[in-house]
Structure 1
Amino acid sequence: MDRRELSALAHADHPISAPLSDSTVEHLLRRAIRGQNAHLLDLGCGDGTWLLRALRARDGATAVGVDISGAGFDDVLGEAARLGLADRLELRRQDVAEYRSDRKADLVLSVGAAYAFGGLLQTLQAAREHLAEDGLLLLGDCFWEREPDPAVRAAMEDGPQKFADLPTTVAQVVADGWTPVYGYTSTIAEWDEYEWCWTGTLAQWALDHPEHPDRDLALQMSADHRTSWLGGYRGYLGFVVLLLRPTPAQA
């Protein structure tokens, strides 16, 4: 079992892989989906939970989710079949940066998946390629609520993706040719719920499976994540979801 699979286990009690409550997710989907027959594309869909919830709320909508992991796909597809939605949901195990389709989406979602593209601007470019004319992008990404300790910043930005403060993040999106038509910033309560679920669910799994060969790794991964959160980025790292439309070119 690799770390990606262990991370999927950690999300069992909070399948939305972002610090967002169930009611917030429903609210965002209501704002984002226009028309009963909308086609949705989720780039970095996790197990597909966002799309399943969207299809339950919108008769006639169709959806494709793409994620390199594929963990949880079977459960979500099974639930879709039980609800009579199987013919409207497709989940593809693939690198999102390599996904191509001739069908454009009325709504592209990419929530907490910018790392898969290498950063915010690369995510915006990928979404633009898949978006139908007059389509919408639901983009979720982290930002710095306040300047963190240099060690915390280094730990959270150890890959190609770097974070800015919220005004700078929004300014970067606007400069790239997008107009925000709605936005939501996660509360500290949503962050805490997400992180306690992440660390606690993984620890619970490890304690329930004492003979599993990855038990110690899971416990260590949970403890390391908890320390990084409570002793590092809690109260510093924020999360924003922006509903975006391409800005029309000026005549």
Structure 2
Amino acid sequence: MTPPHHTRLTFHGPLSEARANRLVRRLAGNAPATVLDIGCGWGELMLRVLAATPGATGTGIDLDAEDLARGRQAAQARGLTDRVRFLEESATGTTRGPADLVLCVGASQALGDLSQALAELRRLVRDDGRVLLGEGFWQRTPTPAELSRMWPDAAATDHPDLATLVGLAVDAGFRPEWTETASLDEWEEFESAYLADTEVWLAGNPGHPLAEETRQRADRHRAAWLTYRGVLGLAYLTLVPVAR
């Protein structure tokens, strides 16, 4: 018996139902015929856009077979199987675009560094389309002590501040239609749900052969997020490509 995996998560990121509903209404309001989801995971947001946009088709790209399988099951349960594909492949240099709507939420690293990712997103979206970029930014510059308790080799250069992030999007050929950021409540909901299954399993299985390794991994993750809590932000940018 191993710990359950992500069963408490609806979205793989700090995204509330209320914000997701607003995003879907805004994105579906442009009536996209094609949706491309980069680093889709189980594609929850893409599936909601498709459900709100009759006739639209979607393609999700990711390297995690387990997440993709979850996405396919969700598509089947919602009657969307004939309108969506979940593909296990790299997004680097993908030929799956251009699309009317490109989603890239917490997955820009799949396209390179941030400047490269923004250039790729401009290539992958149609001139009259939209990009939803979910991207990390520093709410304030972390101290060296804080960085030492985050992810391995964490550096202040890992993320820009919000103004720089939006400026990079403009430089890449976009105008920001909408700028919003995840709230502290959304972060706490996400990070708690991310670990909840594991914590409950550890409490009930202290002698399991996998318990020590699992405990160390959970403790590292918790220590990291309690350190970047209030320091690391996530922006949701709805971007409009500038016509060429």
Distance (Å, rounded) in 2 between the aligned partners of 1:40 and 1:159: 33
1:1-251 correspondence to structure 2 within 5 Å? 9=5, 11-36=6-31, 38-101=33-96, 103-153=97-147, 155-156=150-151, 158=153, 162-207=158-203, 213-230=209-226, 232-248=227-243
- 2:198 and 2:24 map into 1 onto residues whose CA distance is 28
Q: How many residues align?
A: 241
Q: 1:211 to 1:135 in 2, by over 3 A?
A: farther
| Worse-matched range after superposition: 153-162 or 57-66 | 153-162
5+ residue gaps, structure 2: none
Letter in 2 for 1:184: E
How big is the shift at 1:116? 2.3
Greater Cα shift, 135-144 or 23-32: 23-32
Shift of 1:90: 0.4
Q: TM-score, normalised by structure 2?
A: 0.88
Q: 1:162 to 1:87 in 2, by over 3 A?
A: same
CA distance in 2, matches of 1:34, 1:107: 11
The secondary structure found in structure 2 opposite 1:235 is coil
| Shift of residue 56, structure 1, vs aligned partner | 2.1
Structure 1 residues 212 and 70: alpha-carbon distance in aligned structure 2, compared to 1, 3 A threshold = farther
Give, in whole Å, the separation in 2 of the partners of 1:41 and 1:244.
14
> Is the partner of 1:47 in helix, strand or coil?
coil
| RMSD after superposition | 2.5
TM-score (norm 1): 0.86
Deviation per CA, 1:44-85: give whole Å up to 9, x if none: 001121222222222211100001112232233123223221
Q: Structure 1 pair 205/122, CA: closer, same or farther in 2 (3 Å)?
A: farther
Q: 1:203: Cα distance to partner? A: 2.2
Say if 2:63 and 2:88, in contact at 8 Å, map to a contact too. Answer: yes
Inter-CA distance 175–98: structure 2 relative to 1 (3 Å threshold): closer
Counterparts in 2 of 1:148 and 1:46: CA distance versus 1, 3 Å: same
Instruction: Write the letter of the residue equivalent to 1:180.
Output: P
Distance 1:218 1:43, change over 3 A: same
Segment drifting more, 136-145 vs 65-74? 65-74
8 Å CA contact 2:174–2:240 kept in 1: the answer is yes
For the residue of structure 2 that corresponds to 1:216, the secondary structure is: helix
Give unpaired runs (5+ residues) of structure 1.
Answer: 1-5
TM-superposed CA distance for 1:99, in Å, is 2.7
Matches of 1:195 and 1:134, distance apart in 2: 35
Query: Cα deviations across residues 27-58 of structure 1 (Å, max 9, x unaligned)?
Result: 11211224546210000001121222222222
